[in-house]
Amino acid sequence: MKATKKQLTEIAKNIKLLILDVDGVLTDGSIILDNEGNEYKSFHVRDGHGIKMLIHAGIQVAIITGRHSKVVERRAHELGITEVYQKCFNKTAAFKELIEKFSVSEKEIAYIGDDIVDAPIMSKIGFPVAVADASAETKEYALIITKNRGGRGAVREVTDIILKSKGIWQRMFDDYFKT
């Protein structure tokens, strides 16, 4: 089901928790490894700023990823994301923990994914999102598909939709002009 703008606004205004995958969502999906065992990932700065704005607005943000990486721990810490579930081969278990921890309903959750491992959660929630370069199978479970690719501003698109739907975005924007 793809949503009209009005339907999307109604859904997004009720979001209390945004859950993010990492590789292919917060990054472009590339994993760079060197000969010393170091891992490198590239994150989009506007995605990070959107996440910080959501957190500032009182919306919870969590990460559920299948891989484990110190880089993800560092980036989550920089952004203020305290709920980080790594090495999750079954993302649904972490998803259920988050529902219980934050006392939210599935309809109050947004999830951004890019691959088939994300589809089980996307099939259960109110606001499932696939990034532009997600797998075709994943896109089938999305309410919307971002214009931007993973790691290239897709997360920011979603954070802006949520903030605008809640009537918060303009106030936050205006705050940047205050001296």
Domain residue limits at 106: 5-169
Give percent of the chain above pLDDT 70. Answer: 99
Confidence at 5, pLDDT banded by 50, 70, 90: confident
Confidence at 89, pLDDT banded by 50, 70, 90: confident
CA 30-90-51 angle, to 5 degrees, is: 55
Q: Is the pLDDT of residue 101 over 70?
A: yes
Instruction: Please report whether residue 174 resides in a domain.
Output: no
CA separation, residue 132 to residues 24, 25, 74, 93, 147 (Å): 10, 10, 26, 26, 6
Instruction: Please report whether residue 11 resides in a domain.
Output: yes
Q: Is the pLDDT of residue 3 over 80?
A: no
Cα(68)–Cα(71) distance, integer angstroms: 9
Q: Is the pLDDT of residue 179 over 70?
A: no
* pLDDT one-digit tens code per residue, 38-50: 999 999 999 999 9
CA separation, residue 107 to residues 33, 103, 122 (Å): 38, 12, 11
Q: What is the CATH number of the domain that holds 120?
A: 3.40.50.1000
- Helix-then-strand count for the chain, H and E: 8, 8
| Bridge partners, residue 62, by sequence | 19, 83
Amino acid 18: pLDDT: 98
Instruction: Please report whether residue 179 resides in a domain.
Output: no
Instruction: Please report whether residue 176 resides in a domain.
Output: no
| Bridge partners, residue 179, by sequence | none
Instruction: Please report whether residue 94 resides in a domain.
Output: yes
CB 136 within 8 A of CB 155: no
Amino acid 1: pLDDT: 55
Tokens 């532009």 sit at which residue? 132
pTM, 2 dp: 0.95
* pLDDT one-digit tens code per residue, 113-149: 999 999 999 999 999 999 999 999 999 999 999 999 9
Tokens 């590789």 sit at which residue? 23
Tell me whether strands 39-40 and 32-33 are parallel, antiparallel or unpaired.
Answer: antiparallel
CB 69 within 8 A of CB 39: yes
Cα(46)–Cα(89) distance, integer angstroms: 28
Instruction: Please report whether residue 175 resides in a domain.
Output: no
The total number of structural domains that make up the chain = 1
Instruction: Please report whether residue 115 resides in a domain.
Output: yes
Instruction: Please report whether residue 149 resides in a domain.
Output: yes
| DSSP percent split of the chain into helix, strand, coil, nearest 5 | 40, 15, 45
